Structure 1
Amino acid sequence: MKTIDNIYKKEYTEVVELWEASVRATHHFLREEDIEYFKPLILNTYLDEVELKCIRENKKIVGFIGVADQNLEMLFIHPEYRGKGIGKTLLDYAINKLKVTKVDVNEQNEQAVGFYKYCGFEFVKRLELDSSGKPYPTLHMELKK
């Protein structure tokens, strides 16, 4: 049984390091300048705008979620821990405890799109640009009723 834990502000640097490792393993469509653009935004702005929860192994954060207004804003797993049920455990917690019903996902992140479909989300609409105005199409998905 994996325990869901809180993330504290003093751990934000660790969270951003995990985010970067996860993005480099899964978001092959991003350019280096995009990753460098998002890192300070995540550290200094985005993490404070969501409710953060994580799973730890040996006191180290290995996966985390960020939720705001019933929307899953972030779900990132360290590459060494992918495929071990951490993402599913965090998503189930987000749905059952934090009442998540929506997620936006990069269309080019096919593994994530497939994961959310498998977990009961369905496509609602597509936007050409991501929330930062960058040319990465985003899919709005909602949990099937």
Structure 2
Amino acid sequence: MLNKAALGDAAAAAAVVETHAPGVPTVKAIEASIDPRVLIDLEPRAKPSVHLHDHGVPFETWSWSGGRCDEERVRRMAAELPPGAVRAKGIVATKDGVIEFQQVGNRSRFTRLNRAADQSQIVVIGVPDTLDSGWLANRLG
């Protein structure tokens, strides 16, 4: 996500992104505001699932939903995401409580939430043909 897109030279920003992350799609934002559907699938899931979406955009999304997860497995999955993974986010129910997981590029953050949950959902956005749903699902159990 390229924030403050309206404040600078679009061509210069695109050149910086291409230099540091060649081929990675960019979503431009003003005041960090973008349609949340770009980052996360907001539709509730009736059962655990793994699937890829193609909505005619320059990236793919993978989502996983299920019950409680082992926090260490989620942390390992985050550390091992393929280079084409641009963004990941989720709410994860663990035996010790609920955590919010966010990752942009190779930077991740885990925040404990003061709420109860028995279900987990994680969404990953990546460059087309770089996400392997089997690989990701195996890491989450």
TM over 0.5: no
Q: Which structure has greater helix proportion?
A: 1
Larger RCO of the pair (alpha carbons < 8 Å, separation 6+): 2
**Greater C-alpha radius of gyration:** 2
Give TM-score, length-normalised by structure 1. 0.27
The TM-score, its normalising length taken from structure 2, stands at 0.27
